[in-house]
Amino acid sequence: MQCYNLVKTFLVINQMAITIRDIAKCAQTSVSAVSLVLNEKWEKKVPKDTVARVKQAIKKYHYVQNPVGRGLALKKKFRISLGIYGSLMEHPLIGAFSFHELLSYVASIISQSGYAIDIIQVNTHHGIKKMCDEIISNGNDGIIFLGWDQKVIKNILHKIERISFPYIVVDCNLNDKSLSYTYTDMSASTEIAITHLIKNGHKRIGFIRAELSKSRFLPKLKGYKMAIKKCGIRFNDRLVADNSNPNPILSGYNACQKVLSLRPKPGAVFCSDNLAALGVLMFLKEKKIKVPDDLELIGYGDLTFANLAIPPLSYVCRSIMEQGKKSVQFILKRMEKKRDNSSQQIRFDEELVIQGTCR
């Protein structure tokens, strides 16, 4: 007893954590009972008054389970990998994909669930095999894939397929029922945006391509074509302004110049990325073209850049938050019951937000 007290004094000095044994001692029961209470498995096993005492002790000492001890017993690491294609830095400005929003939501839910994050920034110059190694080697409980190119990630997943670890690819339509991913139908939402412009009376609608990635551009172009076709407007490829400038704002600026040099001038423009739309607005301001009176503009992306625009952009709003939230929930569930490794595809719809740049 003397010894025990000594040990505890030492522990307190060093701010060592309270363990399950301390709680058991305090609640005058066994370690097993405490564990059952902690994991909500006490029913029909531990009497209610014991449960109450345990809960009291937990509160008193601000006890939290040590994920390391728990992990060893459960053969889990309580770590989730965030497998990112390229570095975090490369992403924020590419392809209307807001890492801030996504990370913020994902991180918050993961942290609340007691998991830690292992951010793996995969070198895009590596081959598939090396990428696989980078991603899997740490053997975490699950992987959330962010910001991947459709082809690359498909390739990787099929290579490591038989390893049935929980994973989900966020915001990437893999068109493959054997894989798990979340995605949006970019064609459908672009169609809605273009239809809106047509309803506003426009027949010549410019299309500004901002992203380099074909897999992100082509679905939007498809939606554009579908919308005009339904309204009996013929497709004119000169209205599609392509610009490969790596600076998205500059790319929008240049492409807008191109589109507006056409005669007759288009009365509306769809810009496939909000950041590029900032460049479009810059060009319009310079040329004193009034928005939305002389030209209507609809962007595509997330709230952050849309609301930085002057006036605030009308835009197709990406469902980043929901995708982040659902992805984590999915993977957390998978990690609970490891046997279930059926695939799942989760579709999200995008919403047209009307603000200052169109009627």
Partner DNA sequence: CTGAAAGCGCTTACAG
DSSP helix/strand/coil, 265: coil
Residue 342 CB-density burial (10 A; 0-12 exposed, 13-18 middle, 19+ buried): exposed
Based on the shown chain and the rule CB under 8 A, indicate whether residue 139 belongs to the binding site for a second copy. Answer: yes
Q: Which of 9, 39, 108, 175 binds DNA (CB under 7 A)?
A: 39
Task: Kindly identify the residues of this chain, within the stretch 60-119, that bind DNA according to CB under 7 A.
Answer: 65-66, 68-70, 72-75
Choose from a second copy, DNA, none: what does 30 bind? Cβ within 5-8 Å by kind. Answer: DNA
- Cβ nearer to DNA, comparing 68 with 310: 68
Based on the shown chain and the rule CB under 7 A, indicate whether residue 230 belongs to the binding site for DNA. Answer: no
Query: How many other CB atoms are there within 10 angstroms of residue 350's CB atom?
Result: 19
Smallest separation (angstroms) from DNA to the CB of 20: 3
Helix axes 248-260, 274-286, angle to 10 degrees: 50
Q: Which of 153, 138, 142 is nearest to 86 (CA)?
A: 153
User: Is the distance from CB of 84 to CB of 152 less than 8 angstroms?
Assistant: no
- Cβ nearer to a second copy, comparing 1 with 73: 73
Based on the shown chain and the rule CB under 8 A, indicate whether residue 72 belongs to the binding site for a second copy. Answer: yes
Complete edge-to-edge strand list for the sheet that includes strand 268-271: 240-242, 205-209, 268-271, 296-301, 314-317, 351-353
Q: Which of 17, 192, 226, 346 binds a second copy (CB under 8 A)?
A: 17
- Cβ nearer to a second copy, comparing 17 with 262: 17
Task: Kindly identify the residues of this chain, within the stretch 295-334, that bind a second copy according to CB under 8 A.
Answer: 304, 307-308, 310
| Cβ-count burial 212-235 (b if 16+ within 10 Å, e if not) | eeeebbebbbebbbbbbeeeebee
Written as six digits, the tokens of 28 are 């005058």
Q: Which of 26, 50, 240, 296 binds DNA (CB under 7 A)?
A: 50
Q: Please report, as a single letter, which amino acid is at residue 236.
A: N
DSSP helix/strand/coil, 57: helix
Is omega for the bond preceding 312 within 30 degrees of 0, making it cis? no
User: Is the distance from CB of 124 to CB of 85 less than 8 angstroms?
Assistant: yes
With contacts defined by CB under 8 A, name the span among 108-116, 170-178, 208-216, 223-231 that binds a second copy.
108-116
Based on the shown chain and the rule CB under 8 A, indicate whether residue 89 belongs to the binding site for a second copy. Answer: yes
- Cβ nearer to DNA, comparing 73 with 89: 73
Choose from DNA, a second copy, none: what does 100 bind? Cβ within 5-8 Å by kind. Answer: a second copy
Give φ, ψ of 245 to 5 degrees: -60, 130
**Residues in touch with DNA (CB under 7 A):** 16-17, 19-21, 29-36, 38-39, 41, 44-47, 50, 65-66, 68-70, 72-75
**Residues in touch with a second copy (CB under 8 A):** 15-17, 62, 64, 66-69, 71-72, 75-77, 79, 87-89, 91-93, 99-101, 103-104, 107-108, 110-111, 116-121, 137-139, 163-165, 247-250, 253, 279, 282, 285-286, 288, 304, 307-308, 310
